[in-house]
Chains A and B, each alone.
Chain A
Amino acid sequence: MDLNQSMLLLSSWIGQIGGFGLDLLWRFIHLVVSLWYIVSGIIEAVESYAISLGLNKKYSSINIAKLRCLAVVVDIEEARDVTKVIELLQWLRTIGVKQVGLFDSQGLLKKSKDLILGTIPGSMLSEEIAEKDFSPDQNRLALEFISSSDNKEAVMKAANILLQRYLTSSHPENDKGENFFTETHLNEALRVVGENVHAPDLLLVYGPIRSHLGFPAWRLRYTEIVHMGSLKYMRYGSLLKAIHKFTGVHQNYGT
């Protein structure tokens, strides 16, 4: 009886010690992981401020000519804060970016375009700049406002145009439409429905979601995609770093 009790006591002790040991290990791992995230966050912030203040010479000269067109995707929650978007555009203008596409899925920025264009000196809609043919040395910022309606909906409209052309053409019965449905034809049809088919070189995504949130698919073929975190906590240094990193990227386009 005594032996039985002592065995039970021993096993409960082992159980308690084991439970405590595993709990300790669990908390220790959580602590290590949390510390790692905190430290890496601090390092990132310090580096960003150093870049902003021009202390890091590596980022002082950027080959901005390589970045012909930049697109910014803003999460729907963050798109409500237009002042932050304006601040971002002013930074981009300072860096020397000439063409920017602004995207949010519900077109909130499209609705605020007058406010944005009125606040940023030298900014114009990209289609207006194309029409007026300004000299490249002028400090202009071409802006394009994009929403979900410019994505799949626009492709469907363009596809319908091609379909109508195909059906009204005098095609032989065995024609499978090879000559009607090509990239060139769809690009042309997209232009007809008022879409810009210019593919951005770099896409900056602001918000908690790490996807491109429905940015026009047709234009994303070889675009570099960088997730920038929240627009609320955006930093000039991080922006400069992302653009600098892009200018050093080599693409071989699958070859």
Chain B
Amino acid sequence: MLFLFSVVFTFLALFLIPGLFISRRLSVSFSLKNIIRFFKITASKYDDEEERNGKRGAMGDKEKRAMNRMPKHVAVILDGNRRWAEKRGLKTSEGHEAGARTLMENAKDCFAMGTNTISLFAFSTENWERPEDEVNCLMALFEKHFKSEMPYFQRENIRISVIGNRSKISESLLGLIEEVEEATKSYEGKHLIIAVDYSGRFDILQACKNLAMKVKDGLIQVEDIDEKAMEKELMTKCSEFPNPDLLIRTSGEQRISNFFLWQSAYTELYFPNVLWPDFGEAEYLDALTWYQQRQRRFGRRV
């Protein structure tokens, strides 16, 4: 009995109580669910081949290996704002507002866990077909969050790039986008790519068009056109890691809906059955655990 009590006491003293204070400081939701996720993710981080063979490297090596198994580039299709609002009897605009809040929280968590590039499919070319009120609401949200999050981007040295077709975007939003991009263009290490009026097919076509212009202007020869040349013209050329390692599409839909068609050939596709505003830190940890348990081979034999 005394032994059991001492085990419980030790567990509380060494783990839970300090954890509560730490979680307050780090704003991490502390629950048994998250403890289990933490154990799972830690296990998958370090339980690699060398560990199983009994070769234990220095702590630095371990950390390096763990970081190598973190996705460098995470792409997210933010789906389910409208359904989330509908389920709660709220207006569509409130669903999008909740989605925007989730977006910033997740971006912060994602960067904190060692990801370099995050791409967000915020508004597709097809989204223009939605009701005018909803489109206006989304555009207003972009403006609001670009303004309000600017100090955070600068404080954390996060580079912002907005990709997509800019021809239909309002003057005020366009001005703001250019301002944010200009202010953050020199930052390195963390990169947030926001796709607005983007489609994968449009990306491929504009890359073809850019190559044609370069040939016409005598900058390159027709013979120089290959996959590498094409990739340099895609909109993700702005990123150090143009191809995502992990693509998350929320709300349980299992398709990539015209997002990063060219770039996602060997991207791990994760489709959680969670609406975007409900996709929190615990769900992101789930996605990371899932990703780290996969084996990426890029079509080659191992």
Contacts and interface: CB of A to CB of B under 8 A. Distances in A.
A105 B298 CA distance: 9
B201 A225 contact: no
B186 interface: no
B265 interface: yes
B209 A22 contact: no
B219 interface: no
A155 B234 CA distance: 13
Contact of A222 (B13, B129, B257): B257
Given A25-B11, A26-B39, A186-B205, A160 B222 contact: yes
A163 B215 contact: yes
Contact of A21 (B11, B215, B264): B11
B10 interface: yes
B10 A14 contact: yes
Interface string A129-162: 0000000000000000000100111011001101
A122 interface: no
A253 B125 CA distance: 10
Contacts of B230: 152, 155-156, 159
Interface residues of A, number: 61
Chain B: interface secondary structure?
Answer: helix
Interface string A4-31: 0000000000100110111011100110
B274 interface: no
Contacts of B299: 76, 105-106, 148, 213-214
A159 B211 contact: yes
Contacts, number: 165
Given A212-B264, A222-B255, A162 B212 contact: yes
Contacts of B296: 209, 211
B254 A166 contact: no
Contacts of B258: 221-222, 254
A3 interface: no
A152 B226 CA distance: 9
A160 B256 CA distance: 27
Nearest to B297: A209
Contacts of A221: 200-201, 257-258, 261
Given A222-B257, A254-B127, A255-B130, 17 more contacts: A17-B3, A18-B11, A148-B299, A153-B227, A156-B226, A160-B225, A163-B225, A182-B205, A186-B208, A209-B294, A212-B269, A214-B299, A215-B265, A217-B265, A221-B200, A224-B254, A225-B255
Interface of A: 14, 17-18, 20-22, 24-26, 29-30, 32-33, 76-77, 105-106, 148, 151-153, 155-156, 159-160, 162-164, 166-167, 176-178, 180-183, 186, 208-215, 217-218, 220-227, 249, 251, 253-255
Interface of B: 3, 6-8, 10-11, 13-15, 35-36, 39-40, 43, 124-127, 129-130, 200-201, 204-206, 208-209, 211-213, 215-216, 222, 225-227, 230, 253-258, 261-262, 264-270, 294-297, 299-301
